[in-house]
Structure 1
């Protein structure tokens, strides 16, 4: 069934003017001029084909037509407010679905989410492994992390500097390269190929050789002295990005998480 076009702005002005029985006080409430209130009321009267107010020596009076519809109008506005609250509830809920490559989830994201969750009682998280293309529609995601040169078609923010560092076991290791998809090419032969940078770090820690990985991914292992750096960090073309389509990016719960992860 086709819905009747509702002049919502005019009806909102009508509600305020009826409560105050004054265009001036209604204008103050709505932050417009009394003239604008009068124009809205006249336009509404023309559309409805009825007189909504009568001017008397004592001020404005409601006509029977206005009185007949006022209760239903106000009940309708209450329903609108409830609908808005219901729609906002999903955006401000304590449920977040995050897609990220397995290596950054294990090495970087999970510890930070644990700290974030400790300050947000009731938080429910769903972590989805996503090493390739991310489909926000199919997976019903709120936000994702990917290794890329920019945010691409989505909104986003870089999580750190685009730096890579080469690491080896804490007590040293052979000058042999540990390879992984996305690893910058090195001069030494690859002794081992693994699925991601996280596994490359683990292989380096156990003495297989040297792994060149994103600097932010290996921060904790360097701090714990599980591995040691070989040479200085080098600039890279890619870094980790937090990304989401604009509707998800605007959600309060996503904004709050982004602020926490980029603090």
Structure 2
């Protein structure tokens, strides 16, 4: 039988039923019903063309055919476990690979990673500057920070408040020209607004506003930090919205022990 056709679920049920010599106890181990165990065994018997169990007055009994293959099957599952453990060993790695916008890293993330590393000096970080949806598999990422409306199909948490804030330099009139950047959209969040000045990211938009070039609608998290530092002033109240900085990862990465530790630290820092 080809490897791609191996009935792995059925073999797993066979192993459990053979160890317990009971469909009921095998079902308890596998968290299924005894009927489901029986169905798997019958399907496996039909596929292999042999009888695997007989019912006797003493209970369930393995046939010679089933017993002949059990050692190899169990050895195979042990090798599977070793393979899974080898794959999961990467979870204990001391290297985090993170993709995030450069301006967000400079304004917020860098200091939080430094604090996390002070408590865990063995850690190393590989940072990838990204303003888009970097492919996790291609870049071998653990986590990514994205300016978006939510985690989508990924697992994620918001880092800081959602929404935007309009800022301008001291003395710059409220009607000054707009400074655009790729993540700035109109009120409906559908398309870039017409702007007088265009820059590459929100951090540069804040710097341009602080220099007196105009006003900019920027992520609330970055805007409030710049206001607190005295670089710019806020024009009005924060604008609510669904967009924000989201820390995201596919479910397998999100469940890793090392990732959970960093996520918890960054979540605490964002509150």
Partner of 2:165: 164
Larger Rg: 1
Shift of 1:216: 1.0
Partner of 1:6: 6
Structure 1: give runs of 5+ residues left out of the alignment.
none
Q: Deviations over 1:116-164 (max 9, x none)?
A: 4445564432212224x4441654444433445x359764665432121
1:71, distance to aligned residue in structure 2 (A): 1.1
Alignment partner, residue 78 of structure 1: 78
1:143/1:242 contact within 8 Å kept: no
- C-alpha change, 1:11 and 1:118, in structure 2 (3 Å) is same
Report deviation, 1:217: 0.7
Do the aligned residues in 1 keep the contact of 2:168 with 2:209 (CA within 8 Å)? Answer: yes
| Pairing of 1:1-263 with structure 2 (within 5 A) | 2-3=2-3, 5-90=5-90, 93-118=93-118, 122-131=122-131, 133-136=132-135, 138-148=138-148, 150-151=149-150, 155=154, 158-159=158-159, 160-168=161-169, 172-173=170-171, 175=173, 179=179, 181-182=181-182, 195-202=200-207, 208=212, 211-212=215-216, 213-223=218-228, 225-227=229-231, 229-235=233-239, 239-242=243-246, 246=250, 251-252=255-256, 257-258=262-263, 260-261=266-267, 263=271
Matched residue SS, 1:51: coil
Give the TM-score taking structure 2 as reference length: 0.69
Q: 1:220 offset after TM fit, Å? A: 3.5
Q: Offset at 1:210?
A: 6.0
Give the superposed CA RMSD.
4.0
**Is the partner of 1:161 in helix, strand or coil?**
coil
Q: Secondary structure of the equivalent of 2:181?
A: coil
Number of equivalent positions: 252
> Cα 1:164–1:9, aligned 2, differ >3 Å: closer, same or farther?
same
1-structure distance, mates of 2:28, 2:146: 50
2:193 is aligned to: none
Distance 1:114 1:235, change over 3 A: same
TM-score w.r.t. length of structure 1 = 0.71
The offset of 1:16, in angstroms, is 1.7
**CA–CA distance in structure 2, aligned partners of residues 12 and 74 of structure 1:** 9
> Gaps spanning 5+ residues in structure 2: where?
187-195
- How far the C-alpha of 1:93 sits from its partner, in A, is 4.7
* Further displaced range: 234-243 or 4-13: 234-243
Whether the 8 Å CA contact 2:151–2:248 is kept in 1: the answer is no
Alignment CA distance shift 1:15-1:217 (3 Å):
same
